[in-house]
A and B are shown apart, each in its own frame.
Chain A
Amino acid sequence: MTKSLNLNTVVQNLPDTLKQEVNTENGSLYVNSKYIFEICRELKNNNKFQFNYLKSISAVDYVEFFEVVYHLDSLITNTSLVLKSKLYGRDGNSINSVISVWKGADLQEREIWDLMGIFFEGHPNMKRILLWEGFKGHPLRKDFLK
């Protein structure tokens, strides 16, 4: 059975520079969006976590803010972790790409840019993937009236 990692232990095992940038809430680890790359690198390479498998990246539009959700798995220890980051504002949202940590982020980050309009800094090929170039807007946002 895949166990979800105890969040308090996760925070304790992080280096001091990152400790201040995270907090835990509702069973997930929230991180300041500026430090997403550093924390992902730490979660993958630190021997206490070994999160070597990025299951999925999702983005949710909560109107006041966007949430980028990383579902991480460790195929070595069979543990999982949900990492989240909030992005405030509706225009020009961006977050660092984690493609150099997990190559699996490649297509998923492009999909989020396409459908949710969150730009991933440092992604080598950040362009639309499902819709065509020139499409106006990002369809999964809550901008559209019912």
Chain B
Amino acid sequence: MSLNSELVTINFGPQHPSMHGVFRLRVTLDGETIVDLEPVFGYLHRGTEKLAEERTYVQIVTLTDRLDYVASMSNNLAYVSAVEKLCNIEVPKRASYIRVIVAELQRIASHLMATGFLLNDLGAFGTPLMYCFREREKILDLFEILCGARITLSYMRPGGIFQDTPQEFWDDLELFLESMPNQIDELESLITGNEIVLSRTRDVGILTPEQVIDASLSGPMLRASSVKWDLRKANPYEIYDEIDFDVPIGATGDTFDRYLIRIKEMRESLKIITQCINLIKPGPVRNEDVPLIIRAPEGEAYVGIEGPKGELGFYLVSDGGISPYRCKIRAPSFINLTLLKEMTAGGKIGDLIVNFGSIDIVLGEVDR
């Protein structure tokens, strides 16, 4: 006797705790096995690229805060770098160091969120997430000292940063750098060797190096599949060529590797920040020749930086006016979703959530 089974199509989201925002998955299931999957998004689409065509170059900085809202500093950095390339603006050395310090702090904050929510999705409800949030809070406090804001920072400007750092920032940063390695160790002692985590994430959602390159994935997704590619090394921007750090890569490209890469990258970020503190010298932090209303010369520029989620790029086209003619955003979270179906189809529905969590998307950036 054989049992009759029927395919069932269900909606995951858009309101669902493990969808990381307003994201919907239309999943076709055969029992517990995923047959087909289609991501549906756009619920948070605000038309950032169109809005940018109506704003001046400095005003757009505030729009970029709202893309990947857990990593505003990185968005600021990518955008101002593109404007600087377009208009040939020089950045003072001190500003470059501060930019790298805050961008790496932001990377740690973003990776903490990714790790916390991955564990949340695994069913370790609350506790690991709160551990991560406790550390992230310290970084947000540091940002608050710098610019008064905690999430939507708008700290950078074309030609430098908004203002120099107060002494209080360096004191608190010193304390943070002292405590953070132990906190990462603590987090790892809870997660890395945990048998439940291992059995849920090992060999789940394996992506081969060929697959990830072909699908234009970037950031930790790329490196977890043992592709040694990091824009900070491959195409150094700011002062990364003066800094000594490693690019960790994974072995198998499964969900566990994607988790572990983020932990290792946090440690590398701490190394980078420590070196920057030793190298930084007093000086101006803003190019005073840059006017408030920038009139970019006719032309175009593409700049991509290594954001926490992957390659974050801005492609600006100027017609000589005070706002860009076209501002295209290469959003890493958006493109990292390309292989979601390949990662999950044929697997169990329980693994879908884990796979999805390991991509680490932010809907503000996916939908723009």
Contact = CB atoms under 8 A, between A and B. Distances in A.
A35 interface: no
A130 B42 CA distance: 4
B367 interface: yes
B326 to A, nearest CB: 5
Most buried by A among B215, B216, B313: B216
B49 interface: yes
Nearest to A2: B235
A140 B214 CA distance: 27
A58 to B, nearest CB: 4
Q: How large is the interface on A (under 10, 10 to 19, 20 to 34, 35 or more residues)?
A: 20 to 34
Contact of A1 (B216, B236, B299, B326): B236
Given A1-B235, A107-B334, A131-B42, A54 B216 contact: yes
Given A60-B325, A71-B302, A129-B41, A52 B213 contact: yes
Interface stretch (A16-24, A88-96, A98-106): A98-106
Contact of B302 (A61, A82, A107): A82
B330 A55 contact: yes
A78 B234 contact: yes
A60 B227 contact: no
B352 to A, nearest CB: 18
Given A58-B315, A71-B302, A107-B335, A52 B214 contact: yes
Given A53-B213, A82-B302, A107 B367 contact: no
Contacts of A1: 235-236
Contacts of B47: 139
Interface in B280-329: 299, 302, 304, 311, 313, 315, 317, 325-326, 328
Contacts of B334: 107, 111
A53 B216 contact: yes
Contact of B330 (A56, A60, A140): A56
Interface in A56-77: 56, 58, 60-61, 69, 71, 75
Contacts of A75: 213, 227, 229, 234
B45 interface: yes
A116 to B, nearest CB: 10
A115 interface: yes
Contacts of A55: 216, 302, 304, 311, 313, 330
A58 B229 contact: no
B315 A69 contact: yes
Contacts of A131: 42, 45
B180 interface: no
A6 interface: no
Given A103-B214, A108-B335, A115-B49, A130 B367 contact: yes
Contacts of A132: 42
B258 to A, nearest CB: 18
Contacts of A60: 317, 325-326, 328
B336 to A, nearest CB: 10
Contacts of B330: 55-56, 71
Contacts of A69: 315
Interface string B19-54: 000000000000000000000011001010110001
B214 A58 contact: no
Nearest to B210: A52
Contact of A2 (B42, B213, B234): B234
B140 to A, nearest CB: 30
A71 B317 CA distance: 14
Interface string B325-353: 11010100011011100000000000000
Contacts of A102: 214-216
A115 B47 CA distance: 9
Interface in A1-21: 1-2
Interface in A106-142: 106-108, 111, 115, 129-132, 139-140
B319 to A, nearest CB: 9
A140 B304 contact: no
Contacts of B368: 130
Given A1-B236, A102-B215, A104-B338, 9 more contacts: A1-B235, A55-B216, A56-B302, A71-B302, A71-B315, A75-B229, A78-B235, A103-B215, A140-B50
Those 10 A-B pairs whose CB atoms lie nearest each other, nearest first: A104-B216, A130-B42, A2-B235, A56-B330, A58-B328, A103-B215, A130-B45, A60-B326, A104-B215, A103-B214
